[in-house]
Amino acid sequence: MLPEIGQFSLILACILSLLQTVYPLYGVHTGHQGAIRSAKIFTILQFVAVATSFVILSYSFLINDFTIGYIATNSNSALPWYYRLSAVWGAHEGSLLLWVFLLSTWSIAVALMSKRLPIESVARVLAVLGLLAFGFYLFVILTSNPFDRTLPYFPIDGRDLNPLLQDFGLVIHPPMLYMGYVGFSVAFAFAIAALLEGRLDSAWAKWSRPWTMAAWMFLTVGIALGSWWAYYELGWGGWWFWDPVENASFMPWLAGTALIHSLAVSEKRGVFKSWTVLLALSAFSLSLLGTFLVRSGVLVSVHAFASDPTRGLFILGFLVLVIGGSLLLYAIQASKVKSRGRYQLVSRESVLLINNILLIAALIVVLLGTLLPLVHKEIGLGSISIGEPFFNRMFTILIVPFALFVGVGSLFRWKRQQLNDLKKPLTMILILSTLSTVIFLFTFAPSLTWLAVMGTFLGFWIIVGVIYEIYLRSTHRHRFSKGVMKLGNSHWAMSFGHFGLAVMIIGITMTQNYSIEKDVKLAVGQHIAFEHYDFHFDQVKPHNGQNYTATMGVFTVKKDQQEIAVMEAEKRIYTVQRMPMTEAAINAGFTRDLYIAMGEQLPDGAWAVRIYYKPFIRWIWLGPLLMAFGGLLMLCDRRYRSKKDNIENSENKPAPVGGTDA
C-alpha cells in the first residue's frame, strides 16, 4: 500500500509542477494577481508531494520491503541501516527521485526566501523551475519508476548495494553533487525569467548571485568528496581519473566558477550581461548534459549507471527542448541588451573577463576530450581514447596565465588601472612568492623538476597576492588591525576562494611530482624502507564485518626508527555479491599520506603489496573546502540578506580600490 501512495504522490507532484508552470505564467501574461500568487502555493504543494514520495521510498528501504524491485536489487537485510538509507540514491531510479526532490527543495527555498523581489519575477522563476521539474517527473514516472513492484513473486532478500557504495563518502557525495547540479537550475530559471521579461539589469545579477554561489558551493564540496572517495575506496591511490562521469561534474563547475565571477562584474559594473546570461544557461545545461552522459550509456565509464537507450533518448529530447529552447530565446532577447559600463583594456573588468575566457577554454578542453571519441567513432574513424596525459598537459598550460591573473586580479581597479601603479605591488609579490617557493621546495621537495617549481610558484603567487591585497586594503584608510576588521564578508569570500585554489594547486603539484609508488612482494615478518619510512609486515589475520569477510594485513610503520603508526589493510569479500574489494590502509597527514593496499597472495605465501607515499595530497581536498567556505562567507554577506532591495545601494558602494590610490 505504502509504495502505491509513494507513486501516487509522485504523479501528483508531476501534475502540480505543470500547474506551477502554466498558471503563474498565465497570471503574469494577463496580470491576474491570484494566478501570480499561486506560483508559491503550487511550489509548496509540489514539495510536499515529492517529499512524501521520497520519505516513503527511504522508509521502505529501512524496513526492507523487497516487494519493491528497486529495493530488492539495491539493498539487503544484512546491510547496516545507514547504508540502507543511502542506498535510496545508490542506483538510477532512486538517484533521480533524489534529483527531483532536491529540485523541489531549491524551488521552495526560492519561493520562501524571495520576499523582497517583485512578485511577477518570482512567479516567472518558479514557473521555469516547475517546467524543469515537470520534465524530470515525466522521466521518472515513464522510464525509471522506483516504486515498481516485484509482486507476486518477491525475493526473500535483496541483491545488496554495490559494495563500492557502502561507504560514508558515498552517503553524502551524491546529495552534495546533486545539490550543486540542481542548484544551477535556479540561476538558469532567473536567467530565463529575465530573458522572458526582457530586463537584464544589475538587479537580476544581484538576485541570482547568492543562489549561484550556493549551488557552486555544494558542487565544489560534492566533487571534492567524490575525489576523496575514489582515492581511499578504489584502491588505486588516484584522486582524479578524467573519467567521463567526473568530467560531467567538472564541466558545470567550470561554467559555474566563470558565472560567479561574471555575475559579480554584471552586478557591480553592468557589463558583460549577455555573456553572464549565457554562462547561467550553460552551467545548468552542462549539468543536464552530465546527467545524459552518465545515464544513457553513450560513453564508456567506470561508474556509469546501467545504461538504457530509451532513457538516453528521453533525456536527450528533454535536453534539446530545455537547452535548445533557452539558447534560442537567448539569441533573440540578449541581442537587445546593451552594455552601459565603460572600461579600459587594463582594468579589473578585463582581467575578470580574461580569466572567464580561460575557464571556458578549460571547459572546452574537457568537453571536447569527453565527446570527441564519440564523434570520432560516429564518423567512422574508429575508437580513440582521450585521457589523463592529454588533459593534464592542457590544464598545465592553461593554469599558468589563469593563476597569474588570479593572484593579482584583485589589485586591479575597476574601469581603468594605471600599469605604473601596479609596478610596486607586482614586484613585491614576485619577490615574496619566489622566496616562499624556494623555502617550501627546499623543505619538502627531495629533488627539483620544472613542473614542481612552476606549480609551487603559481600557488605562492596567489597566496602572497591574496595576503598582500588584504594588507593594502586594510591599511588604505586605517591602521592594519582596524582596517582588517572592516573588510566585508564578500571580500573575505574572494580571499578564501583564491587561497583555496592556491592550496589545491600546491597539493596537486606536490602529489603529482613527488609521489612514490612501490609494488612489492612481502612475506609476514619482512619489511621495506623508503623515504625515511620503514614498513614492517607484522601479520595477516581474518576480520569479519556485518556483511563481509576480510583478510587483514597489519603493518607497523616507523619513521627514523620511531614507531608512528600501525596500519591495517584489508581485502574484503562481500558475502551477497561475492565481490572482492580492496580496503586500503591510509595514514593521513597534513604534509603526506601513507597508503597500503593488499594484493593477491602469491604461490610462495608472500603477498603482493602496494605502498604509496603521497605528499600533500590532503591539500587537494583542503583547497576546495576553503573555496566552498569562501562561498559560505559570501552568502552571509549582509547585502544578500537585507530586506530592502536597493539598487542604488549597490551602485554607491565604492568600487574596490587598487593598491595605491591615485
Partner 1 sequence: MLNKRRVLTLLVPFIIFIIGAIFLATPLLKGSDPSKLDSALIGQAVPEFTLQDIYDADKQYDASIFKGQKMLLNVWATWCPTCYAEHTYLNKLAKQGLYIVGMNYKDDRKKAIRWLKDLNDPYKISLFDKSGMLGMDLGVYGAPETFFIDSNGIIQYRHVGDLNNKVWNDKLLAIYEDMQ
Partner 2 sequence: MIQLNKVNKLLPLLLAACMILFSHASQAAIDTFEFENAQQEKTFHELTKLLRCPKCQNQNIADSNAELAKDLRNKTYELVKQGQSKDQVVDYMVARFGNFVRYDPPVTPATIFLWLGPLLFIIFGLLVLIRQIKKQPAKANNLDDQEQQKLQQLLKQHAKDTKS
**Interface contacts to partner 1, rule CB under 8 A:** 274, 278, 282, 285, 292, 296-300, 309, 312-313, 316, 319-320, 323-324, 327-328, 330-332, 334-336, 371, 374-375, 377-378, 382-383
Phi, psi of 660 (to 5 degrees): -120, 130
Task: Give 165 or 620: the residue with its C-beta nearer to partner 2.
Answer: 165
Residue 67 binds what, of partner 1, partner 2, none (CB under 5 to 8 Å, by partner type)?
A: none
Residue 655 binding partner 2, by CB under 8 A: no
Are 59 and 40 contacting, i.e. CB atoms less than 8 angstroms apart? no
The alpha carbon of residue 125 and the mean position of all alpha carbons in its chain are separated, in whole angstroms, by 23
Element (H, E) at 609: strand 607-615
Residue 376 binds what, of partner 2, partner 1, none (CB under 5 to 8 Å, by partner type)?
A: partner 2
Taking CB under 8 A as the criterion, the residue among 226, 500, 599, 658 binding partner 2 is 599
Residue 386 binding partner 2, by CB under 8 A: yes
The alpha carbon of residue 471 and the mean position of all alpha carbons in its chain are separated, in whole angstroms, by 31
Element (H, E) at 454: helix 450-474
Phi, psi of 537 (to 5 degrees): -85, 100
Using CA atoms, how far apart are residues 46 and 42, in angstroms rounded to an integer?
A: 6
Task: Give 609 or 617: the residue with its C-beta nearer to partner 2.
Answer: 609
CB of 599 to partner 2, least distance (A): 3
CB of 597 to partner 2, least distance (A): 4
Taking CB under 8 A as the criterion, the residue among 344, 427, 449, 544 binding partner 2 is 344
For 146, the grid coordinates are 522506483
Taking CB under 8 A as the criterion, the residue among 65, 93, 160, 233 binding partner 2 is 233
Taking CB under 8 A as the criterion, the residue among 152, 389, 525, 654 binding partner 2 is 389
Residue 395 binding partner 2, by CB under 8 A: no
CB of 164 to partner 1, least distance (A): 19
Residue 160 binding partner 2, by CB under 8 A: no
CB of 112 to partner 2, least distance (A): 25
Using CA atoms, how far apart are residues 635 and 615, in angstroms rounded to an integer?
A: 33
Tell which positions 257-276 bind partner 2, by CB under 8 A: 269-270
DSSP 307: P
Edge-to-edge strand ranges of the sheet holding 607-615: 516-522, 607-615, 592-601, 585-587
Residue 294 binds what, of partner 2, partner 1, none (CB under 5 to 8 Å, by partner type)?
A: none
CB of 30 to partner 2, least distance (A): 22
Q: Select from 53-61, 128-136, 301-309, 481-489 the region that touches partner 2 (CB under 8 A).
A: 301-309
3-state secondary structure of 536: strand
Task: Give 368 or 564: the residue with its C-beta nearer to partner 2.
Answer: 368
Residue with cell 567506470: 302
Taking CB under 8 A as the criterion, the residue among 163, 210, 222, 500 binding partner 2 is 163
3-state secondary structure of 538: strand
Pairing status of strand 607-615 against strand 548-559:
unpaired
The alpha carbon of residue 647 and the mean position of all alpha carbons in its chain are separated, in whole angstroms, by 31
Binding mask 551-580 for partner 2 (x = CB under 8 A): --------------------x------xxx
- State yes or no: cis peptide before 24, omega within 30 of 0: no
Residue 608 binding partner 2, by CB under 8 A: yes
Task: Give 267 or 637: the residue with its C-beta nearer to partner 2.
Answer: 267
For 374, the grid coordinates are 564519440
CB of 275 to partner 1, least distance (A): 11
Beta-carbon contacts of residue 592 (< 8 Å; ≥ 6 apart): 613, 614, 615, 616, 617
3-state secondary structure of 492: helix
Tell which positions 192-211 bind partner 2, by CB under 8 A: 199-203
Using CA atoms, how far apart are residues 27 and 19, in angstroms rounded to an integer?
A: 12
Beta-carbon contacts of residue 489 (< 8 Å; ≥ 6 apart): 633, 634, 636, 637, 638
Using CA atoms, how far apart are residues 142 and 121, in angstroms rounded to an integer?
A: 32
Are 184 and 212 contacting, i.e. CB atoms less than 8 angstroms apart? yes
Taking CB under 8 A as the criterion, the residue among 65, 93, 160, 243 binding partner 2 is 243
Taking CB under 8 A as the criterion, the residue among 63, 306, 647, 662 binding partner 2 is 647
Residue 617 binding partner 2, by CB under 8 A: no
Residue 304 binds what, of partner 1, partner 2, none (CB under 5 to 8 Å, by partner type)?
A: partner 2
Residue 221 binding partner 2, by CB under 8 A: no
Residue 517 binds what, of partner 1, partner 2, none (CB under 5 to 8 Å, by partner type)?
A: partner 2
For 467, the grid coordinates are 595576503
Task: Give 309 or 317: the residue with its C-beta nearer to partner 2.
Answer: 309
CB of 163 to partner 2, least distance (A): 7
How many residues touch partner 2 under the rule CB under 8 A: the total is 78
CA 540, 546, 551 angle in degrees (round to 5)?
A: 15
3-state secondary structure labels for all residues of 180-202: HHHHHHHHHHHHHHHHHHCCCCH
Q: How far is CA 444 from CA 432, 506, 511, 517, in A?
A: 18, 12, 12, 18
Taking CB under 8 A as the criterion, the residue among 149, 159, 376, 543 binding partner 2 is 376
Residue 362 binding partner 2, by CB under 8 A: yes
CB of 354 to partner 1, least distance (A): 20
Residue 477 binding partner 2, by CB under 8 A: no
Task: Give 50 or 597: the residue with its C-beta nearer to partner 2.
Answer: 597
DSSP assignment string, 87-99: GGGSSHHHHHHHH
Task: Give 331 or 397: the residue with its C-beta nearer to partner 1.
Answer: 331
3-state secondary structure of 595: strand
Residue 243 binds what, of partner 2, partner 1, none (CB under 5 to 8 Å, by partner type)?
A: partner 2
CB of 593 to partner 1, least distance (A): 33
Residue 331 binds what, of partner 1, partner 2, none (CB under 5 to 8 Å, by partner type)?
A: partner 1
